[in-house]
Structure formats: C-alpha cells, structure tokens
C-alpha cells in the first residue's frame, strides 16, 4: 500500500474583517487526524494548518509541496473545515458556473477560489497520486455551518475576487463536499462536542464501513447520517463517473465497478437511490413487486422489497434479513413489477430453454408476439447464429454466436442492453410543475440562430463541403433555465444509434433561475460519424439528446451505457431500472449526415 499524504486545514478563529468565528473546525481536524492514524498508521504523513497558519499562501504551498510529494500508488488527501463564500459570476465564468455564482473557501486571510484550488489539486494528481478533497464549508459542492446549528458561510468582502483564474478542464481529483454549491452547511453539537455536521457524519461512515469502502459508498452513508441528524444540507460527490476516482477507497486502492444502486438507512427508513426517473413506476402498490438484491457476499447478502417509489428514490423493506443501519449496501434490481420487454425464440426447444434460463429481470419470455406489450424482440437461431430482430424483421444488431450456454448468456446480455437503452430513450414522466422550465437549444457554432426540427421532428446537421472533403458540423449546446425562481438540476444524455448512453455533454449540475448551462463548459461540440463509418455521401448517424430536469440530484450511474459490442459479446452490469421530488424530461432527435452532393471523400469521420 502507498503512503497517505494528508493536509488537514481547520479555522475557527477568523479575524472580524474576514468572517465570524466558528467553534467546531479544530475538533473536525482532530477527529480526521485520529481517523487517519487509526486506519493508516505509519503510512499517514499528516500536516495540520489551524487558524492563523491557514493563510491562502500557506495552504497553497502545502498543497503543492506536501500533497505534491505524493506519487503513483500514494493518496493525497485535503480536508478543509471552515467558512465558504460565494459571489455573482460574470463574463466567461458564466460558461462554467450555471448557478450564476462563484464559490471559494475562506482561509484566515481571505478567499481561495474553488477553481484555483481545483487546478492545484489536479497538478498534484498529475504526479500519479490518487487525490481526494473533503470540504466541510458552505457552497462546497462548487469547490473543487438556526439556534442549534451555525452556518459556515462568510459574506464576500468588496475586495475579494472569486472569479476563474485557471483554465477549466476535466477534474483529476475527487471531491466529497458538505453541501451543494447553492447551499449552506452547518456545525452543531454532536456527542458533547462541536463539529461540522458533514465531518461528523463522514468520519462515522468511514469507521462503520472500513478502509475498503469507496468514496461513492462513503458519501451515501454520510449523506444518510446528515439527513438523520436533521440538517438540510445535501452532501455532494464530484465527479461521479463510474469506475473512476469516485469508486476508489478514500485512502487508496484500485477502482471498483460502480454498483448501479446503493441501499442506505435514511431519515425515512431504508431507501435505494432509484426511482421514477430511472424507469420505475411511481407510487406504492404498483411497485411492490420490485425487488433489489444486495451484492455483498456472505451473511450480509439479502433482498429488499419496494414499498413506495418517488422520483429519485425507493423506500424499501428488507425481506428475511437485518442489514446494519450504519452500513451502505450495493444493490441491483433482481425483479421488476412490470417487465419492460419481451422475447420470443425461433429455434429448437433446446435453444429456447438455454436463452430463457439466462434472461434477467428486464426481459421476459412470451409464447408469441401477440402477448407482447411495448418493446419486443424476436431471436431467430439458425446455423449457430442468433439474429435479434424487431417486430418488422429488421435486425437490431449484427448476429451473435449461439452454440451453447455461454453464447446464450451473451445473447441475454444483448437483450438487456438494448432494453436499458430503449428504456432511457423512451422515458417519459407524468405531467410535472417543471415541464417547460428548461429549454434545450442547439446552435451552429458561430451562429445565433438555433436549429429547428424538420418535418420529421429531427434536428438535421449536415457535413459541410471543404477542399479537404466533407467537414463535420460544430454546434453549441445550451440549457436555459426559464424559471424566475427555481434552481434546477439538469443532466443531458447522449443516446447514440450504437446503443450507447452517456451524460458527457452535461453530466449533472444545478442551473440557477434565469441562467444558462453550457455543454462542455461552452466549448464547441463536434457532431461526426463514428470512426467505424466511412465519411461517404449518404452516410449518417443518429443521436437522441435527452434532457432530464429535477429539483434534486439524481443517481446517474444507471444512465451510462457503452456501445453494444457484438464482436466482444460484452457482459453488461446492472440495470437502468433502478425523497419525493419533481422531474421532467425532453428528448431531441438529432441526425448528422454527409450530403449526397459531396464526392470523392472516404475515411473515418473523427
């Protein structure tokens, strides 16, 4: 195991001209230090900056020198406990800050902007270390504490500049933040001592789960504890890309495959982070045939049954087992009340028996298409190949081998993958108060006029002629929050005709009322054919851009699908199906093509 280079920063004694004093930050740092020493022992090299020592320059130097000394196999951990602040964003900052505000940590002598801190941490990550930041301050979800609770927020001073000072880029570190970027966080009394609500919850979550728990699992456990303590803040994990830093243990170790869903004990009881927005039917009685199975091996493996499905979560009850309330359990859908797809098998009885035995909860066998409702597959087996057909006889994918049990499993995986993709594409909510509040706009790069649907309802983007051959179109993609008073959470999914789904364009952020979110932080988006398709006249590719809008964050892991790879017969892990909340969705079909007037060009589309 590598070394743990930890920088622990806590500020209670703020000067009056900077911020109001706090009372729990030094306690936070002492508790974090004990945690590291207990779990990592001699592997932990800890530097502590408290109060007057926690200046902007000293924190910056310690990040670069102490955390920067971490190399491959090591973990660099920043833990900050103190005030946060925010101010209105202007100019180019608005391309990144869709809430319309910039955030910063407040050191003892002034602000350390989140973008500057993020760039510093990414420089540390460039040395090969795993980099983790734990921020217990107000508005910390943008960074890279009432009578019983004190808000950890410092109003910005007129001379503070919180704007972007570093070029934005993909984050190479992982952030566990005390609250959303538009929320306060709090400190209060816990077990006779003053602490930040998030630090107290996170330390407890780590001790309950042990050093092998991933950042994603720890954040879920800490968030449940914050809820149960009565705090209104919502801890944040960023970025939450599956298989990346979010799915590594807090103190180092290899990434694990992200579970599609997590089971935790929240303020209202046991809940799974899966709901109507993931395809489950909202309500009570209709959903109670839905089961989730815990993925842990051994005595902690069990099943929970759905009680009530809301937009973003499902309240559940354990069936014949007693999970520990202090733990978080990875779970996957094991049975759904109403299967979303059906299949008939044309082949000999043994082929039918093999495939039906491999089908999971998303696809059910039927005797004939007349029994099918909604998405239906016909699997025609002949000459050792399985052809997956639509109702009209056209093929979904290239044929798959079918000569034994292993091949039957791969065909079943293909059906599950196709079902998941169609379910996301066709996901439609009930009428919602959020309908029409966020507008998706696609504008050719360099133009001010957005694209309009053609007669078939598609947005059409042709390649342009050039001396070097057809040139792929570039566009700007914008999400306008037209609400006068609601801050809304948005994610933009790109579903391709290769049966991929990814939120890379806009991975999930809040957009303030009257503000605009920009795909790729305002950079141009290239629309081109896949590399496997020659750029020849008449060639085309289709995408479906699906905007999902909610009043709270959603679990995006189930929305991520790689393209179906027929040659690899890749196994697909976890189904798309999975606090009350509202949500809505809009789907925009998009077609990119090479005009037939273009001649003499071939090769990949980039």
pLDDT tens track for 35-86: 999 999 999 999 999 999 999 999 999 999 999 999 999 999 999 999 988 8
Q: How do residues 513-572 score in pLDDT, each as one tens digit?
A: 999 999 998 999 999 998 889 999 999 999 999 999 998 889 999 899 988 875 544 333
Do 10 and 153 sit in the same domain of this protein? yes
| Residue 478 placed within a domain | yes
Helix, strand and coil content of the chain, in percent to the nearest 5, comes to 20, 30, 45
CATH number at residue 570: 2.60.40
Helices (H), 368-466: 405-425
What is the reported pLDDT for 260?
Answer: 87
Pairing of strands 516-518, 4-10: unpaired
Q: Based on the domain organization, do 190 and 130 belong to the same domain?
A: yes
Count of CB atoms situated within 10 Å of the CB of 110: 21
Give the range among 76-80, 323-327, 353-357, 599-603 with minimum mean pLDDT: 599-603
Q: Which long-range contacts link 203-210 to residues 24+ away (Cβ below 8 Å)?
A: 203/31, 203/32, 203/35, 204/326, 205/326, 205/328, 206/35, 206/39, 206/250, 207/35, 208/324, 208/326, 208/327, 209/327, 209/328
Distance in angstroms (rounded) separating the CA atoms of residues 450 and 413: 39
Residues 543 and 446 in one domain: yes
DSSP letters, 286-333, are GGTT-EEEE---GGG--EEEEEEE-SS-EEEEEES----TT--EEEEE
Q: Are residues 486 and 360 in the same domain?
A: no
Q: What is the CATH number of the domain that holds 382?
A: 3.40.50
- Same domain? For 70 and 145 the reply is yes
Of the candidates 360, 395, 403, the one whose C-alpha atom is nearest the C-alpha of residue 379 is 395
More confident residue, 299 or 109: 109
- Helix (H) / strand (E) element for 121: namely helix 114-125
Q: Is residue 605 part of a domain?
A: no
User: Residue 297's pLDDT is what?
Assistant: 63
If asked whether residues 229 and 307 sit together in one domain, one would say no
Task: Provide the pLDDT for residue 424.
Answer: 92
The share of the chain scoring above pLDDT 90, in percent, equals 57
pLDDT over 50 (residue 197): yes
Residue 435's SS3 state is: coil
Q: What percent of the chain has pLDDT over 70?
A: 87
CA proximity to 26, closest of 63, 77, 81: 81
Which residues partner with 546 through β-bridges?
493, 587
Pairwise pLDDT comparison (115 vs 549), residue with the higher score? 549
In this prediction, residue 161 carries a pLDDT of 61
Looking at residue 527, its pLDDT comes to 92
- Both tokens assigned to 302: 């069990």
**Distance of alpha carbon 121 from alpha carbon 135, whole angstroms:** 13
Is residue 193 domain-shared with residue 276, that is, in the same domain?
no
Q: Would you state the structure tokens that stand for residue 3, as one six-digit string?
A: 């070394």
Residue 251 · residue 218 · CB < 8 Å: no
What is the tens place of the pLDDT at every residue in 248-262?
Answer: 999 888 888 888 899
92, 374, 138: which is closest to 234 by C-alpha? Answer: 138
Show Cβ contacts of residue 381 under 8 Å, excluding neighbours closer than 6 positions: 345, 346, 347, 348, 351, 387, 402
Q: In which order are the strands placed within the sheet that holds 130-136?
A: 44-50, 4-10, 75-81, 130-136, 174-177, 236-238
pLDDT value of residue 570 = 38
pLDDT at 474: 94
Helix (H, G, I), strand (E, B) or coil at 348: coil
Query: Helix (H, G, I), strand (E, B), or coil: what is residue 489?
Result: strand
pLDDT band at 146 (very low <50, low <70, confident <90, very high): very low
Q: Are 347 and 286 found together in one domain?
A: no
Q: Report whether pLDDT(218) > 90.
A: yes
Please write the tens of the pLDDT for every residue from 335-389. Answer: 877 667 999 999 889 989 999 999 988 898 988 877 777 899 999 999 999 999 9
| 309, 336 Cβ separation under 8 angstroms | no
Residues 34 and 142 in one domain: yes
3-state secondary structure labels for all residues of 524-539: CEECCCCCCCECCCCC
What range does the domain containing 541 cover? 438-593
CA-CA distance, 404 to 402, in Å (whole number)? 6
Higher confidence at residue 467 or residue 103? 467
- State the sign of the Cα–Cα–Cα–Cα dihedral 549, 552, 557, 558: negative
Between CA 491 and CA 554 the distance in angstroms is 9
Whether residue 598 is contained in a domain is answered as no
Q: What's the structural domain count of the chain?
A: 4
* Residues 84 and 201 reside in one and the same domain: yes
For the entire predicted model, the pTM comes to 0.84
Whole-number Å distance between alpha carbons of 307 and 314: 7
**What was the pLDDT predicted at 89?**
63
Boundary (domain end) residue, out of 247, 277, 297: 247
In a domain, 482, yes or no: yes
Residue 76 counted as domain residue: yes
156 and 184 assigned to the same domain: yes
- Token digits for 65? 């020198």
Confidence of residue 168 (pLDDT cuts 50, 70, 90): very low
**Per-residue tokens: 122:** 């990414």
**H or E stretch at 77:** strand 75-81
Q: Specify if 361 maps to a domain.
A: yes
Q: What is the pLDDT of residue 182?
A: 73
Residue 565's CB is within 10 A of a number of other CB atoms, namely: 13
The answer to whether residues 270 and 317 touch, using CB atoms and an 8 Å cutoff, is yes
Which pLDDT score is estimated for 603? 35
Indicate the range of 101-115, 449-463, 480-494 predicted with least confidence: 101-115
Whether 23 contacts 11, CB under 8 Å:
no
Instruction: State whether 60 and 132 are in the same domain.
Output: yes
Q: What confidence tier does 579 reach under pLDDT thresholds 50, 70, 90?
A: very low
Closest-CA residue to 9 (of 102, 135, 193): 135
Could you tell me the CATH number of the domain that includes residue 136?
3.40.50.1460
End-to-end CA distance of the chain: 40
* Assigned token pair, 450: 């957005």
473, 459, 470: which is closest to 595 by C-alpha?
Answer: 470
Evaluate whether residue 200 is within a structural domain.
yes
Report how far Cα 385 is from the mean position of its chain's Cα atoms.
37
**Prior bond of 189 cis (ω within 30°):** no
Question: Which helix (H) or strand (E) segment is 88 a member of?
Answer: strand 84-88
Give dist(CA 532, CA 130) in Å, integer: 34
Q: How far apart are CA 491 and CA 574, in angstroms?
A: 20
* pLDDT given for residue 163 in this prediction: 62
48: left (phi over 0), alpha (psi -120 to 50) or beta: beta
Average pLDDT over residues 443-462: 93
Domain boundary among 335, 361, 387: 335
Domain end: 191, 224, 247, which one?
247
pLDDT for 101 beyond 80: no
- Dihedral angle at the C-alpha atoms of 458, 463, 465, 470, nearest 10 degrees? -150
Query: Over 50: is that where the pLDDT of 175 sits?
Result: yes
Position 600 in a domain: no
Reading phi first (left if > 0) and then psi (alpha if -120 to 50, else beta), residue 446 is in left
């Amino acid at each position: 195991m590598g070394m743990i280079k930890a920088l622990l920063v806590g500020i209670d004694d703020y000067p009056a001209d900077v911020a109001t004093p706090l009372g729990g930050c030094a306690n936070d740092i002492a508790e974090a230090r004990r945690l590291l020493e207990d779990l990592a022992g001699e592997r932990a090299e800890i530097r502590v900056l408290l109060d007057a020592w926690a200046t902007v320059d000293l924190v910056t130097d310690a990040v670069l020198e102490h955390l920067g000394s971490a190399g491959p196999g090591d973990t660099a951990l920043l833990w900050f406990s103190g005030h946060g602040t925010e101010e209105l964003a202007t100019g180019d900052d608005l391309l990144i800050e869709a809430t319309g505000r910039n955030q910063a940590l407040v050191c003892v002598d002034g602000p350390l902007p989140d973008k500057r801190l993020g760039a510093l941490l990414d420089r540390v990550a460039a040395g090969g270390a795993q980099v983790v930041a734990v921020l217990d301050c107000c508005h910390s979800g943008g960074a890279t504490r009432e009578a019983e609770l004190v808000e950890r927020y410092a109003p910005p001073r007129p001379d503070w500049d919180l704007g972007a000072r570093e070029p934005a880029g993909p984050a190479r570190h992982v952030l566990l933040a005390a609250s959303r970027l538009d929320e306060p966080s709090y400190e209060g009394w816990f077990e006779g001592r003053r602490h930040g609500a998030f630090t107290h919850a996170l330390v407890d979550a780590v001790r309950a789960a042990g050093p092998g728990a991933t950042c994603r699992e720890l954040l879920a456990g800490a968030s449940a504890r914050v809820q149960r303590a009565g705090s209104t803040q919502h801890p944040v994990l960023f970025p939450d890309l599956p298989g990346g830093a979010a799915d590594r243990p807090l103190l180092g170790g290899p990434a694990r495959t992200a579970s599609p869903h997590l089971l935790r004990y929240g303020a209202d009881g046991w809940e799974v982070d899966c709901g109507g927005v993931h395809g489950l039917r909202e309500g009570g009685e209709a959903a109670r045939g839905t089961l989730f199975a815990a993925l842990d091996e051994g005595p902690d493996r069990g099943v929970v049954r759905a009680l009530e499905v809301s937009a973003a979560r499902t309240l559940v009850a354990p069936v014949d087992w007693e999970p520990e309330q202090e733990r978080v359990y990875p779970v996957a859908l094991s049975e759904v009340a109403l299967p979303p797809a059906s299949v008939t098998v044309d082949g000999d009885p043994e082929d039918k028996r093999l495939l039906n035995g491999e089908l999971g909860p998303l696809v059910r066998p039927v005797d004939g298409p007349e029994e099918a409702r909604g998405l239906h597959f016909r699997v025609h087996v002949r000459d050792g190949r399985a052809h997956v057909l639509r109702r009209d006889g056209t093929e979904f994918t290239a044929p798959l081998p079918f000569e034994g049990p292993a091949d039957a499993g791969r065909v079943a995986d293909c059906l599950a993958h196709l079902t998941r993709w169609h379910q996301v594409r066709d996901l439609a909510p009930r009428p919602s108060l959020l309908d029409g509040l966020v507008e998706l706009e696609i504008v050719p790069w360099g133009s001010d006029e957005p694209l309009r649907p053609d007669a078939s309802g598609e947005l059409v983007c042709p390649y342009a002629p050039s001396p070097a051959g057809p040139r792929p179109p570039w566009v700007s993609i914008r999400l306008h929050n037209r609400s006068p008073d609601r801050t809304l959470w948005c994610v933009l999914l790109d579903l391709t005709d290769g049966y991929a789904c990814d939120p890379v364009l806009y991975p999930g952020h809040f957009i303030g009322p009257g503000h605009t979110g920009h795909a790729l932080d305002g950079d141009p988006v290239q629309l081109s054919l896949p590399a496997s398709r020659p750029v020849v006249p008449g060639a085309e590719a289709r995408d479906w851009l699906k905007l999902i809008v909610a009043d709270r964050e959603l679990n995006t892991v189930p929305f991520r699908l790689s393209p179906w790879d027929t040659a690899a017969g890749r196994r697909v892990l976890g189904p798309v199906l999975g606090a009350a909340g509202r949500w809505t969705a809009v789907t925009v079909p998009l077609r990119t093509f090479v005009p037939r007037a273009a001649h003499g060009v071939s090769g990949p589309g980039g």
